[in-house]
Amino acid sequence: MTPGDNGKGRNKGHSINPKPRALTAREVALDVLVRVDEQGAYSNLLLNSSLQKSGLSREDAGLATELVYGTISRLITLDFVLEQFVSKGLVKLQPWVRSLLRLSLYQIMYLDRIPSHAAVNEAVNISKKRGHQGISGMVNGVLRSVLRAGDLPVLPGNLSEAKRISLQHSHPLWMVKRWIAEYGAEIAEAICAANNEPPAVSVRVNTTLISREKLLNEMQEQGLNALASEVSPYGIVVKGGGNMALTPWYRDGYLSIQDESSMLVAEAVAPEPGMKVLDCCAAPGGKTAHMAELMKDEGYIYANDLHLHKAKLISDQAVRLGLESIVIGSVDAMDLDSTCEHSSFDRILLDAPCSGLGVIRRKPDLKWRKEPEDVASIAALQKGLLESVSKLLKPGGMLVYSTCTTEQAENSDIVTSFLDMNPDFTAITFSSPIWGRLQETALARGEGIQILPNHFGSDGFYISCLQRRL
């Protein structure tokens, strides 16, 4: 640049650094799927960051989200079908081609609103941009062969029940076998089918600021399709309302986003104003905040979490909801019995670390990451935690043990073993109002309530209420 030349007027009509072409919804979804496949990235975290950078419209962001979660969720079924049409096998394809075929087949098989020819055309366009003529020809040929094949998948008639469910509903065979052993084939299939349904959006009302009826009326007056939850007296289910965390109600602390089953846990604890309550594994703080709301923010809740950065999430929630009764701590829950006074809490919540097999709908890649051995190893930890924190409960007080899994090795087996070793505790789960409300649907498992994903379209949860004898 020469003196006096400010650079203006040069390259008029042209940009030195032209703005990169914006990606389409399918291209954003494809990039996420390739990184999940190749690098083991967590789909929810990667998708969120990708959408923030993408500049996609709300509708296209919704399509990209559905393509990512739907493709990951249906992976076994999609690969089973594609293996019949890809002559050299899926494993020999370039990762992006493999993911492109999967997300295109997902649209053809499961999305009624997208015409099949449109899904094929988009796949061919993407393969032309990213590959060469040969690849686009192969993609076109495979997908058009799929269209000519009619209804898919076509399963062999000689499959075992477990294998059929695994292929039909895209779940690992070991997981299906465990659920058949615990609940029977019919319920196991219903669990798998429910796990493939998109989760509903539900919110918990902050009853220290507003009643459920009043907030529900406000939502309906704003044109939202909002209904009172049948599972929790504190919940509202919102259909097609978008991200509720972006609403003024959320900003002003009138609601929290929480699954309906998860809302039952604080209700089971039944904390009252003035009580001293311990939440052993509290982050991100939804159940802690709910307990504070039930206590009308009068009393003391010690919310502990092992990870300091997660404990910060609890603090942020408390501030947003205007709750001052919550005190944050960060130690290993196994050490709480050496840092807290024994027999000092009126209520204790142990929402234990678990395999998480009840929340597959929200985290579909979880089913591909878990192994059967994970259940046994986490069960040993759960047993130790329950034994340790139970020492902190007052005589006459109540301890609630909960998990978001369907595995009885982590649920009823843990509670039964604890009661056998601690005769000063007794189970009072089935005198809870929750059982009175749900017993037509939820299952009694040992000394606790088991809610499965197919019962209410909510997360799978286990809740057991244990009282220390006077």
Q: Which amino acids are annotated catalytic?
A: 404
Put residue 57 in one of left, alpha, beta given phi > 0 → left and psi -120 to 50 → alpha: beta
- SS3 sequence of the chain: CCCCCCCCCCCCCCCCCCCCCCCCHHHHHHHHHHHHHHHCCCHHHHHHHHHHHHCCCHHHHHHHHHHHHHHHHCHHHHHHHHCCCCCCCHHHCCHHHHHHHHHHHHHHHHCCCCCHHHHHHHHHHHHHHHCCHHHHHHHHHHHHHHHHCCCCCCCCCCCCHHHHHHHHHCCCHHHHHHHHHHHCHHHHHHHHHHHCCCCCEEEEECCCCCCHHHHHHHHHHCCCEEEECCCCCCEEEEECCCCHHHCHHHHCCCEEECCHHHHHHHHHHCCCCCCEEEECCCCCCHHHHHHHHHCCCCCEEEEECCCHHHHHHHHHHHHHHCCCCEEEECCCHHHHHHHCCCCCEEEEEEECCCCCCCCCCCCCCHHHHCCHHHHHHHHHHHHHHHHHHHHHEEEEEEEEEEECCCCCCCCHHHHHHHHHHCCCEEECHHHCHHHHHHCCCCEEECCEEEECHHHHCCCCEEEEEEEECC
Q: 351 pairs with which residues across the strands? A: 402
Structure tokens at 351: 């929402």
Give backbone dihedrals phi and psi of 377, rounded to 5 degrees, phi first: -70, -40
Distance CA 264, CA 268 (A): 6
Contact criterion met (CB below 8 Å) for 335 and 306: no
Contacts of 447 (CB under 8 A, 6+ apart): 412, 415, 416, 419, 427, 429, 464, 466
Pairing of the two strands 276-279 and 345-351: parallel
Q: How many residues does the chain have?
A: 470
